[in-house]
Amino acid sequence: MKQKLIKEWLGKNRGNAVKLLRKLIQERSIQGRESSAQAVVIETCRELGLEIDIWEPEMKEMSAHENFVSTRENFEDSPNVVAVWRGTGGGRSLILNGHIDVVPEGDLLQWDCDPYEGKVRDGKVYGRGSTDMKGGNVSLLLAINALKSMGVKLKGDVIFQSVIEEESGGAGTLAAILRGYSADAVLIPEPTNMKIFPKQQGSMWFRLKVKGRSAHGGTRYEGVSALEKSILVIRRIQELETKRNEKIEDPLFKDIPIPLPINIGKIEGGSWPSSVPDLIVLEGRIGVGPEEKLIEVKQELAACMNDLCKTDPWFESHPVELEWFGAQWVPGSVDLDHPFVKSLGKAYTQVEKKQPTLEASPWGTDGGLFTQISGIPTVVCGPGTTGVAHYPNEYISIEEMMKAAEIFAILLMDWCEISDEA
C-alpha cells in the first residue's frame, strides 16, 4: 500500500523534481565554487524540516589525516552540508552521501546546449553534473520528501550529506567523518544505472619522470631520447596492468574488460624540435582492487619501474622517478550477504520486478573512506550511467531518477524501520 502511495506522490511531484535538478545544474559547482549549489540544497532541506549542519572544512585538521588529499589551500566558500531526519529510536541509521562538486565542462563546442542551462528534452535533463551526481542527490531528497509528506516516521536516523571535493579525492566526505557523523550503513547514489556496487575500487595518481640526454637533432645518435625511453616505460606499465588483472577472479568484475586499469593520461616533454628530449613526464592513474591496500599497489608500481634496468641498462644509472600526487580514492568492500545489500536489493526488486545486477565499480568513490576509516558498510547505487558522466552533453533520464527515488524510499522504510508513533 505504501509503495503505491510513494509512486503516486512521485508522479504528482515529477515537475518539482525536474525543477530542483535544473536549479542545481544551473549552479556551476566546480572545485572552489560549490557554495551557490549548496545554497539550493540548504533551502530544500529547510523546506523538509531537517536539522541542518553547515561548515567549511578546517584545513589544519584535515591535512593531518593520512587519507587527506587536495590541491587546495583552504575551503573558503566551499561548505559541506549535512541534514538529519531524526528517527523515533530503535531503528538502524543510514547515511545518504552525495557530492555536489562537478568536473569542468570542457570544450563548449562539443556541447549541443549550454552545460549549465539544465535543458529538458526527450525525457532527459542535460547539463554538467546531471548524472554525476546531482540527479542521484535529487533522488535522495525526493525519497525523504515523499515519506515525510505521507506522514511516515522512521525509527532510525537518516543523515543526508551533500559534500564537496569528491572529484578531487574525497576531502568533503572525510570532513564529514571527522565531524563525527556515523551510521549503520551508507548509500552513495553515484551513476551505476541502478546496478548495486558492494565493492568499489580505489585509484591513485602517479607521475613518472623519464630521463634522457640532450643532443642536437642533426646528431641525435649522440644523445639519448627520453621519448624513446618513455615508450619502454609505457610498455612495462601495460605489462603490469595485464599481470595485475590476470589475478582478478571476483565474479563482480566479470563484465568489466579491464577491472583494474592503469591509464597514462598526460605526457609532457622536450624543449625544441631540433633537440633530443632529455626529460619526458608521464602522469597517470592506477586502479586499486577493493581488497587491496594503497601502499601495496604503490610498492608494486615502484618495483615495476625498478625492474626496467633488466630491459635496458640505461635505467641503471638513470632510474625513472616515481611520484604520487594529486587525488586518490580509497577502495572499499562489503560482503554480498550483508543485510544492507539485501535490503537494497529487495527494494530494487519491489520496484523493477526483477533481480538487481551486482557489480564492482570500475572507478573510485567516497565509499572506501567510510569502510576504511569508520568501518561502515557502504554500497554505491544510483541513477544515470558513467557512459555520459564527465562527457559533453551529459544527461540523466527523468524516469530513472524518479524510479531511483521510489527505490530509495522503500529502502529507508525497510532499513530504518517504520515507527508506530503517530
Residues known to be catalytic: 101, 166
Pick the closest to residue 1 from 216, 162, 150 (CA basis).
150
Pick the closest to residue 275 from 212, 228, 216 (CA basis).
216
Q: Are 344 and 411 in contact, with CB atoms under 8 Å apart? A: yes
Give the angle 12-18-19 at the CA atoms, nearest 5°: 100
Buried b (16+ CB within 10 A) or exposed e, 325-353: ebbbbbbbbbeeeeebbebbbebbeebee
Measure the CA–CA gap between 160 and 307, rounded to whole angstroms. 48
Task: Give the pairing type, strands 94-99 and 202-211.
Answer: unpaired
SS3 335: coil
Pick the closest to residue 30 from 104, 97, 133, 116 (CA basis).
104
Partners of residue 329 on adjacent β-strands: 203
State the CB neighbour count (10 A cutoff) for residue 8: 12
Gyration radius of the chain over CA positions: 23
**E strand or H helix that includes residue 388:** none
Measure the CA–CA gap between 368 and 199, rounded to whole angstroms. 9
Q: List Cβ neighbours of 394 (8 Å cut-off, separation of 6 or more).
A: 115, 126, 127, 128, 129, 130, 131, 132, 388
The grid coordinates listed for 328 are 586518490
Q: Are 166 and 188 in contact, with CB atoms under 8 Å apart? A: no
The grid coordinates listed for 174 are 572525510
CA 158 and chain centroid, separation = 21
Q: Are 264 and 290 in contact, with CB atoms under 8 Å apart? A: no
